[in-house]
Amino acid sequence: MARKKRSKRSMQVLNALQFFSSLQLFVGLTTD
């Protein structure tokens, strides 16, 4: 159970990182 919860949390972190990099890329394109 705990392991499954941890993996779910890491998935959330990965999604957040992906979103952040996407946002950074978007900002970079718009400011260019």
Give the model confidence (pLDDT) of 1-23 as tens digits. 566 777 899 999 999 999 999 99
- The confidence score (pLDDT) of residue 23 equals 96
> Please, which pLDDT band fits residue 31 given cuts at 50, 70 and 90?
confident
In whole angstroms, give the CA distance from residue 15 to residue 22.
Answer: 10
Number of domains in the chain: 1
End-to-end distance of the chain based on CA atoms, in angstroms? 47
- The confidence score (pLDDT) of residue 1 equals 58
Amino acid at 2: A
Supply 14's token pair: 């990965």
Answer yes or no: is pLDDT of 32 > 80.
no
- The confidence score (pLDDT) of residue 24 equals 96
Supply 9's token pair: 């949390």
- The confidence score (pLDDT) of residue 5 equals 73
DSSP state of 20: H
In whole angstroms, give the CA distance from residue 18 to residue 32.
Answer: 21
